[in-house]
Amino acid sequence: MIPDLGKYGFEVVSAYAVSIVLLLAIIGLSWRQSVKQRRALETAEARRHG
């Protein structure tokens, strides 16, 4: 499945791996912070109105 990358296989694959890990990390972190903040705000709003 993986194309023949010749003698630079390690470099190409590691560049893709590093980039994909960093992109997934920033997406995951942003998503987690968003969910955490939304829940905290909902709780505070409920306390205020309840």
One-letter-per-residue 3-state SS of 1-50: CCCCCHHHHHHHHHHHHHHHHHHHHHHHHHHHHHHHHHHHHHHHHHHHHC
Torsion from C-alpha of 22, 24, 25, 27, nearest 10 degrees: 120
Quote the least distance from Cβ 39 to other proteins, whole Å.
Answer: 10
* Sites for other proteins among residues 2-41 (CB under 8 A): 3-9, 11-12, 14-16, 18-19, 22-23, 25-27, 29-31, 33-34, 37-38, 40-41
Binding site for other proteins (CB under 8 A): 3-9, 11-12, 14-16, 18-19, 22-23, 25-27, 29-31, 33-34, 37-38, 40-41, 44-45, 47-48
